[in-house]
Amino acid sequence: MQPLTGVKGMNDCFAPESGRWEWLEGQMRGLLHAWGYSNIRVPVVEPLQLFVRGIGEVTDIVEKEMYAFEDKLNGDQLALRPEITAGIVRAVIEHSALYNGPLRVWSIGPVFRHERPQKGRYRQFHQLDVECLGYPGPDVDAELILLTRALWQRLGLKEGEDIHLELNSLGEPAERAAHRAALVSYLQQHEAQLDEDARRRLHSNPLRVLDTKNPTMQALVDAAPKLLDFLGPESIAHLDGVRAVLDAAGLSYTLNPRMVRGLDYYNRTVFEWVTPHLGSQATVCGGGRYDGLIAQLGGKPAPGIGFGLGMERLLLLLETLQLGQGAVALDAYAVVPDGAPLGTVLPLLAGLRAKGLAVQMHAGGGSMKSQFKRADGSGARFALVFGADELARGEVNVKNLADGSQQAVSFSALAAWAASVAP
Ligand code: ATP
Ligand code: MG
């Protein structure tokens, strides 16, 4: 029978690659904990309407990229989440989670978009999603940006060189309406240069035209009326507030009036971290403020801001730059010749694990030669040999698999040895 294969654009991940994921997720968890953010877990499947109402009907995500389907058992219209923010907002409303005050939360998990798969662009990918709900800003806007910067620093990315911040303000609905009128009239004057998408969106969602990826429209879009020029005093003060904190923190950025982001719910602060190393998959992390979303989804009005970070893109970037080599890996592989008394071996291994070593025991028997081959292939730094002679002497033979050197370590000295080599 022909074996089944996975769905196009959806990837499997084995060690050692999965070790890099674990390592990265661990770095993120540690950082988020240190900044006072708590974990939230929400479903991968949500009602389709959540995304139609939240992200906006006339967006690439909802028009072309969403995995929407009918539940065959009850006819419900559902979707695989194309992003995590809407689900978190839905959950927060449903559980009145803002009742006791504002929230800072994070989640890491899969999201789904039916795009053309290529390097850094998949149909199932993963996001770190971080949200601050109930905070009007601009202090928290700047905090989120500085949090991402702290992550780059932790990972060894060079700010400004490997990754760069772009910032914009999308203002408030009234300011957008005034800009929209100017934008529509500008685009109408150049209608001949518009592609099919742009022509369709000219009236339904003209701001989206600025989000085009079509290279032949870039010049047109660059010269279009800028939303920044339509901001009122409060939106300007908000943007200035964010900028003041970033300036004080010595973070340099580009003010990019063309950045509109691919989702309709944003207002005021929007930002992206872009890299020159990943071609057209340049955005590693993007986010913004969504002060209207909670009310729009039926909740008591409250402001919000958050970002989504593409895990695969960040891992690709780290790999390109040879960073993040501290992947989670095995420390030791236990070679147990046939007949070795596991009643003696297992407590010794447990003692090593208690000292923080990752230890895998050989299972399934086999010659010493084949077991050493497994030890080499495991990626472990050490092989621990529990031969009959060693055990009789109350010792383990420790072989350094990198340089081949060996030493006998007595059972009583094993804990001290583990401490000396612990990662
Ligand atoms: P792009 O402009 O590259 O399509 P986007 O604006 O659609 O990105 P967001 O909706 O802001 O992306 O999602 C946040 C992050 O998720 C992106 O910055 C990117 O790192 C990542 N991302 C988005 N789409 C994909 C995908 N298809 N595969 C892998 N990562 C993705
Ligand atoms: Mg996209």
CA 261, CA 284: separation in Å to the nearest integer?
Answer: 13
Q: How many residues can be counted in the chain?
A: 423
- Report which residue type is found at 341: P
How many angstroms separate the Cα of 95 from the Cα of each of 2, 10, 88, 89? 47, 32, 11, 10
Residue 123 DSSP class: S
- Cα separation, 206 vs 190, in Å, equals 13
- Which amino acid type is present at position 93? I
Q: Which ligand 1 atom is at minimum distance from the Cα of 313? A: 20
Supply the pLDDT for residue 311: 98
Ligand 1 closest atom vs CA 65: 27
Query: What is the distance between the alpha carbons of residues 336 and 333, in angstroms, rounded to a whole number?
Result: 10
Secondary structure E strands in 247-303? 253-255, 267-274, 283-289
- Give yes or no for residue 36 having a pLDDT over 80: yes
CB of 197 sitting under 6 A from ligand 1: no
CB-based burial, 123-146: b 16+ in 10 Å, e otherwise: bbbbbbbbbbbbbbbbebbbbbbe
Instruction: Decide if 93 contacts 299 (C-beta within 8 A).
Output: yes
Is the C-beta atom of 353 inside 6 A of ligand 1?
no
Under 8 Å between Cβ of 19 and 325: no
Q: What is the pLDDT of residue 83?
A: 96
Could you tell me if the CB of 148 is within 6 A of ligand 1?
no
Q: What are phi and psi of 226, to 5 degrees?
A: -100, 130
> Ligand 1 centre from 325 Cα, in Å?
24
Sole residue written with tokens 């010659």: 367
| Residue in the structure block whose two tokens are 């960073």 | 323
Give the distance (Å) from ligand 2 centre to CA of residue 332: 43
Arithmetic mean of pLDDT over the chain: 94
Span of 14-18, 241-245, 371-375 with lowest mean pLDDT? 14-18
> Residue 325: its pLDDT value, please?
66
Amino acid at 213: K
Fold observed for domain 332-421: Rossmann fold (3.40.50)
Domain 17-171+231-320 class, CATH top level: alpha beta
Question: Sheet containing 382-385: which strands, arranged edge to edge?
Answer: 359-361, 332-335, 382-385, 395-400, 406-410
pLDDT at 328: 66
370-381 residue pLDDT tens: 999 999 998 899
Domain segments of the chain as ranges: 17-171+231-320, 332-421
Return d(Cα 261, Cα 259) in angstroms, integer. Answer: 6
Per-residue pLDDT reduced to its tens digit, 188-218: 999 888 998 898 888 888 888 888 888 888 8
Average pLDDT of span 32-43: 98
Across 391-422, b (16+ Cβ under 10 Å) vs e yields beeebbbbbebeeeeeeebebeebeebbeebe
326 pLDDT above the threshold of 70: no
Q: Count other Cβ atoms within 10 Å, centred on residue 348.
A: 18
**Residue owning the nearest CA to atom 18 of ligand 1:** 285
Q: How far apart are the CA of 141 and the centre of ligand 1, in A?
A: 20
Distance CA 97, CA 261 (A): 27
pLDDT in tens, 253-312: 999 988 887 677 889 999 999 999 999 899 999 999 999 999 999 999 999 999 999 999
User: Which one, of 365, 360, 372, 419, lies nearest residue 399 by Cα?
Assistant: 372
Q: How far apart are CA 98 and CA 87, in angstroms?
A: 15
The predicted-structure confidence for 86-132, as pLDDT tens digits, reads as follows 999 999 999 999 999 999 999 999 999 999 999 999 999 999 999 99
Q: Which residue has the higher pLDDT, 84 or 259?
A: 84
**Confidence grade of residue 164 (pLDDT, cut at 50, 70, 90):** very high
- Show the DSSP H helices in 156-276 as ranges: 173-189, 196-204, 218-222, 233-248
Structure confidence at residue 329 (pLDDT): 77
Confidence (pLDDT) at 255: 95
Residue 213's pLDDT is: 81
The helix or strand, by DSSP H or E, that contains position 368, with its residue range, turns out to be helix 368-377
CB-ligand 1 contact for 284 (6 Å cutoff)? yes
Cα–Cα separations (whole angstroms), residue 280 to 121, 215, 219, 275: 10, 11, 17, 10
Could you tell me the pLDDT band of residue 327, with boundaries at 50, 70 and 90? Answer: low
pLDDT surpasses 80 at 344: yes
Dig out the tokens for 283 from the structure: 């955005």
What is the pTM for the complete model shown? 0.90
- 309-322: average pLDDT: 96
